[in-house]
Structure 1
């Protein structure tokens, strides 16, 4: 659903993923504490937006299969390999009678080569590695900010401030109220939560 907002930014040593926490159905907000960031492995997350039932079912299916791979082989899939598996699953269902209508960001860190990775994938299973991306109408207001202010060598604090700037712009410019954003960081230490961003700013 384009009313949702997913933001991902890749830096040299880590990836930041932020998602709004609102579960919107038609004209109603049904939840204000929704978690749209799903942990797939110790160094990989997937932020999912789309049809309510599809997002949960698809995320759980991918997460369980990645965990099954680790149990069978004794090691985890690297982020790029997990992306290929996810894309294959999405494209296979696209050609069936039960397609998944989901758009997602996959962010992770590959400890084997000390590299952070971020991928965008749409419901047609088109996948692109990116330095930053924003899904939904919020992307119309935030991509230009990241074009201007993004640097791959930014610190965690600077990256977090860049996210706050983007979310503040969404608050000012977007007619839909998305007051809170959940933020997670993925680095060589693993996955951890950062403080929730409360959108600030008055409408223009």
Structure 2
């Protein structure tokens, strides 16, 4: 029942992901961070088989860091996305990774961007995207409410709408979500949305 989604606003990109680690009918933990800070200005939100998700995202993170160490300059978001797509395509013909990725980043020249990379190595630059069961609801809400040039407040409000809809519509809905943002000031955690805390705030 994984859910990851993201969108691009005016000078920033925001991504959100559920924090449930689930196997079969068991919830192992509810604070699993599925959004990795790739470098100072890039985020990778991933869904899929837990082992593949962790191993592949760490592999990408270390290779992006290695490139910067060897060459003295960081990869652009587009270059990192294409590298990621290439590694998935290579693995597809050997031992595939069952992992879907939303890569968000900010570059001085290109600004904020979001890339959609699925487990069969398709790559698309998008303004909004989602993976997992929650994508059915997140994408429909973003189709309705998203517009280019959104402010941070508008984008977070839309993200919250998506979280509320996922919680209310899915039979087994993940209770907690993490939201991260990347802009000219860097990639960082923005907020956690925890169902118990949200309920207590609403009651107050």
Is the structural similarity TM-score above 0.5? yes
The corresponding residue for 1:132 is: 128
Greater per-residue helix proportion: 2
The answer to whether the Cα contact below 8 Å between 1:114 and 1:188 also exists between their aligned partners in 2 is: no
The corresponding residue for 1:101 is: 98
Give the structure-1-normalised TM-score.
0.93
The answer to whether the Cα contact below 8 Å between 1:90 and 1:100 also exists between their aligned partners in 2 is: yes
Alpha-carbon displacement from aligned partner over 1:131-173 (angstroms, at most 9, x marks no partner): 1111111111121111111122221111111100011000111
Deviating 4+ runs (over 6 angstroms): none
Structure 1: segments with no counterpart, 5+ residues: none
The corresponding residue for 2:21 is: 23
State the distance in 1 between where 2:110 and 2:80 align: 17
State the distance in 2 between where 1:18 and 1:68 align: 27
CA-based RMSD: 1.2
The corresponding residue for 1:84 is: 82
The answer to whether the Cα contact below 8 Å between 2:60 and 2:84 also exists between their aligned partners in 1 is: yes
- Size of the aligned set, in residue pairs, is 197
Q: Does residue 194 of the first structure (1) align with residue 190 of the second (2)?
A: yes
Residue 184 of structure 1: how far off its partner (Å): 0.4
Alpha-carbon displacement from aligned partner over 1:50-106 (angstroms, at most 9, x marks no partner): 11111111011100000000001101000000001000000001101x211101100
Q: Does residue 7 of the first structure (1) align with residue 5 of the second (2)?
A: yes
The corresponding residue for 2:152 is: 156
1:83 is paired with a residue whose SS is: helix
The corresponding residue for 2:32 is: 34
2:73 is paired with a residue whose SS is: coil
Residue 114 of structure 1: how far off its partner (Å): 4.7
Structure 2: segments with no counterpart, 5+ residues: 200-204
State the distance in 2 between where 1:93 and 1:47 align: 19
Residue 33 of structure 1: how far off its partner (Å): 0.4
The answer to whether the Cα contact below 8 Å between 2:145 and 2:158 also exists between their aligned partners in 1 is: yes
Map 1:173-192 onto structure 2 (within 5 A). 173-192=169-188
